[in-house]
Amino acid sequence: MHENYMRYALNLAKQGGGKVSPNPLVGAVLVKEGRIIGEGYHEVYGANHAEVNAIKSASQKSEGATLYVTLEPCNHYGKTPPCTETIIQNKIMRVVVGMRDPNPLVAGSGIKRLEDAGIEVIVGILEEECRKLNEIFIKYITKQEPFVLLKAAMTLDGKIATVAGQSKWITGEASREMVHQLRNAYSGILVGIGTVIKDDPLLTCRLVSGRNPVIIVVDSTLRIPMSSKIIGGTSKVIIAAVKEIEEMAVDKVKKLEELGVKVLFIEAYKHRVNLKELMIQLGKLGIDSILIEGGAEVNASALEAGIVDKVQFYIAPQIVGGQAKTPVAGRGIADLEESIKVENLQIKRIGEDILLEGYIIQK
């Protein structure tokens, strides 16, 4: 019974995708005498939390009811008052929590406040599912760095383009739709300057009512053409260059800033942007998640730097052969013992394509 209601709350929570970051996705269900009398989710950043929306939607008094919520209710003043006080005031009898809140401002204090008020609290129902739902929030709130997903599309023989460089479209329409869902869900999208120069992409989200992620271009020597579509477009743009060229790039930086582009100068690693340092700086700017849609070189650099948390490889039922590019370039790894390992690998069908999704085992 608890799992059924919690699963319902999880599905509610997903409706806040792309609208609440850097807050977590949260769903809540109010149950009384064996039936749902109220439901809600965190809809927009800064607005009411899920618990409050569920209580406000109740078809009858909440007194004596059980509240199912995917994340521990907050017990502090932020954009909104503490949810614990609303729960107590409405005389809810029991609260069933999916997972404890990793936010240091909460971290068990919400549960304790409810228990001190005489409310029964049950914790850990569908906890694994609740944690996966908020994997972005968990990393960002505990490390102040963005959660990073590396996404790549390839043929059955592992190529991201033909020998002539043709890459549109390797995967099918369903997979491309998934990419726009990711762009809506993630705060930032990261590409290398090579992708910008070669493809001149817009990198926007094409979902109805979707949001455009912040575009982050890794451009060590600030080569970006001023005519690029992303400059002066509808998306916010951040360009990361190496610190050693800062004095030489004053004029170009001024022109870019006049067009609304933010330029970050980052300490170099092997004469390129230090991606680990870039993640720290992006975290300070409030970017909680990044989708990497770069080319093979950027993918290799990100994996080498250890910034990738999760990978998604979309595999299309096509074979092109030849010496065409693969999703990850770089120098490569000579010893299999040193290879980058992936865990919790899942396989899904996306239209005609296959999606392989897993998590990087950090060394």
Across-strand partners of 289? 147
Is there a binding annotation on residue 167? yes
Report whether 74 belongs to an annotated binding site: yes
Pair of tokens at residue 237:
């743009």
Q: Is 209 annotated as a binding residue?
A: no
Residue linked to tokens 């290398």: 192
Residues 129 and 155 in one domain: no
The answer for residues whose C-beta is within 8 angstroms of residue 278's C-beta and 6 or more apart is 216, 218, 240, 264, 266
Sheet holding 27-32, edge to edge: 35-41, 27-32, 66-71, 94-99, 120-123
SS3 category, 122: strand
In DSSP notation, 36-83 reads EEEEEE--STTS--HHHHHHHT-SS--TT-EEEEEEPPP-S-SSS--H
231, 254, 284, 330 from 333: Cα distances, Å: 36, 41, 33, 9
DSSP state of 25: P
Are residue 187 and residue 216 in the same domain, yes or no? yes
CATH no. for residue 177? 3.40.430.10
118 and 78 housed in the same domain = yes
The answer on 260 and 212 residing in a single domain is yes
Residue 362's CB: how many other CB atoms inside 10 A? 10
Q: Block means of pLDDT (10 residues each) for the chain, length 363 residues?
A: 96 94 95 96 93 96 96 82 93 97 87 96 97 97 97 94 86 94 96 93 90 96 96 93 95 96 95 96 97 92 96 96 88 90 96 97 86
CATH of the domain at 26: 3.40.140.10
Domain boundary among 114, 137, 160: 137
Number of CB atoms found within 10 A of residue 94's CB: 15
pLDDT at 231: 94
- Do 172 and 282 belong together in one domain? yes
Q: Are residues 123 and 259 in the same domain?
A: no
Would you say 308 and 292 are in contact if contact means Cβ atoms under 8 Å apart?
Answer: yes
Total domain count for the chain? 2
Q: Are residues 131 and 149 in the same domain?
A: no
17/117 Cα distance (integer angstroms): 33
Judge if 186 and 214 occupy the same domain. Answer: yes
Kindly list the catalytic residues: 51
| Tokens found for residue 324 | 């065409």
Q: Is residue 175 a known part of a binding site? A: no
Q: Let me know whether 46 and 175 are in one domain.
A: no
Given 109, 137, 165, the domain boundary residue is: 137
* Rg of the chain (C-alpha set): 23
| Cross-strand bridge partners of residue 121 | 95
Say whether 155 counts as a known binding-site residue: no
Cα separation of 263 and 29, whole Å? 44
Q: Is 299 annotated as a binding residue?
A: yes
Q: How many CA atoms lie within 13 A of 142 on its CB side?
A: 10
Largest CA-CA distance found in the chain, in angstroms, rounded: 71
| Structural domain containing residue 318 | 145-360
Task: Give the Cα separation of 195 and 10 in Å (integer).
Answer: 37
Residue 205 among known ligand-binding residues: no
The answer on whether 58 is annotated among ligand-binding residues is no
Helices (H), the chain: 2-13, 50-56, 83-89, 109-116, 127-133, 135-143, 173-185, 193-199, 250-258, 275-284, 296-305
Residues 187 and 297 in one domain: yes
Q: Where does a domain end: 83, 111, 137? A: 137
pTM of the model: 0.92
- Please indicate, yes or no, whether residues 172 and 303 belong to a single structural domain of this protein: yes
Query: Does residue 149 share a domain with residue 132?
Result: no
